Amino acid sequence: MIVPRVQRHLQTLGTLWCAYAVYRVVTGFIGAFFVRAFMGRRFDGNWPFGRHMGWGGPAMPWMHLMPFIITFTLIAGLFAVFVGYSLLTRRSFGRILGIVAGILVLFKPVLGTALGIYTLWVLAPTVSGLEYDSIAEPD
């Protein structure tokens, strides 16, 4: 007996989305830490690109965007966890949410692109919609 594609890959896909969420949040916070640590310092005239490049002052002029960047990273991570959870628990809206998330994550190089392609390969075909509807939990 051949198990349908969606049923074979749904557990793996949900787990990968949860793992991607952790990866996204951890790398986002590490990046924010390093940007703050290295770029938030005062560059005086002794630095090769001193004040004449507009680098003087207590912090870079764009450092006020850090709370927005951190908030966006958290929201993206929570969204990925929600996608993974909805696929793992076979929610009726999980397939549509997975397709939308798969399209959005295509623009994140390497891991995001691979996850997006895999998500769309599993969930996007019309036959996959019928398979998912047959195994989805009613809300």
> What pLDDT shows up at residue 50?
46
37-45: list long-range contacts, CB under 8 Å, 24+ apart: 39/63
**84: number of Cβ within 10 Å:** 23
The pLDDT of residue 35: 76
Please tell me the predicted confidence (pLDDT) of residue 26. Answer: 94
Lowest mean pLDDT among 35-49, 76-90, 108-122: 35-49
Q: What are phi and psi of 91, to 5 degrees?
A: -70, 150
DSSP letter for 56, please. -
Q: Is 91 helix (H, G, I), strand (E, B) or coil?
A: strand
Q: Are 83 and 6 in contact (CB under 8 A)?
A: no
Model confidence over 20-79: pLDDT tens digits? Answer: 999 999 998 898 887 777 665 554 445 454 444 444 455 566 667 778 888 999 999 999
Residue 124 pLDDT exceeds 90 = no
